[in-house]
Amino acid sequence: MESYKVIDGAESFFIRGNEVGVLVSHGFIGTPQSMKYVGEELAKKGYTVYGLRLKGHGTHYEDLEQATYEDWKQDFLNAYNHLKESCKYIFIVGQSMGGTLTLRTASEVKDIEGIMLINPAISVIPSMESYRQRFEPRYVPEGKPDIKENNVHEITYEQAPLKSIQQLLSLMDETKIRLSRVSCPTLLLTSTIDNVVPPENSTYILNHVRAGHKRQVFLENSYHVASMDYDKDKIVTECITFITQELAKRSCLRAQ
């Protein structure tokens, strides 16, 4: 149970559309606000879009401290099942830790048409590695969100609980060893300059998932929170193209 109210603007969102469902997820200490533009643009194409809010996010960092990565995994499964109630086809778009959770979910749930990963974390986050075995400080100061475009406000926390950083690292470790179980089509959207999650994370994923169709697109004018940066429209376009192509393949298979 969370002890604090959800911050205005950080709420989850659900936009009902057709039988194609798209789950969109924010990253560590972020909120659905960071994915709302992408989600709304996808909804304009007629898709049903669900922007989930992960437990402990968008309220207060003390709530985050009480959440575990098992909670976040369950949040994803609940969101998937919610979309599945009204949608025949499910795609997932995940940014940063949202990308990690997307991979973890895809390694377990096989009825996913495709996944789109924006600067996903899997192998290394340099600024966090030194905290793996530490017991203090209780809270770690967070810098300004890594966004190239000026005057963009992301709703986030000014500090992150040490326990929560360690939960993220554990989630990455668990997901990393399960990448060979990810077989659905995969699109990687990778910022060439990312000051939080280096591009090598995406390279590792590209080399280790078993997807028959996997592709990487580089975002040359955005930093880590690319869904709110200069390349946000490129992300939307690439996601729509990916979804359209995968649905077309399915239609062709049915017609044979």
Domain residue spans in the chain? Answer: 13-255
Report how far residue 161's alpha carbon sits from residue 57's, in angstroms, rounded to the nearest whole number.
12
Paired strand residues for 94? 25, 117
Could you read off the pLDDT of 65-92 as tens digits, one per residue? 999 999 999 999 999 999 999 999 999 9
Q: What is the pLDDT of residue 254?
A: 60
Angle in degrees, 0-180, between the axes of helices 69-84 and 97-106, rounded to the nearest 10: 60
Q: What tokens does 9 get?
A: 């603007």
CA–CA distances in Å: residue 187 to residues 93, 113, 119, 170, 218: 9, 12, 11, 24, 11
CA distance 20 to 36: 18
Ranges of residues in the chain with a pLDDT under 50 are none
The CATH homologous superfamily for domain 13-255 is Alpha/Beta hydrolase fold, catalytic domain (3.40.50.1820)
Q: What Cα–Cα distance (Å) separates residue 109 from each residue in 73, 145, 174?
A: 12, 32, 16
Nearest by Cα to 103 from 171, 4, 13: 171
Concatenating the DSSP letter of every residue in 49-109 gives: EEEE--TT-SS-HHHHHT--HHHHHHHHHHHHHHHHTT-SEEEEEEETHHHHHHHHHHTT-
- Residue 256: what pLDDT? 52
Q: What is the pLDDT of residue 1?
A: 84
**Catalytic site residues?**
96, 194, 224
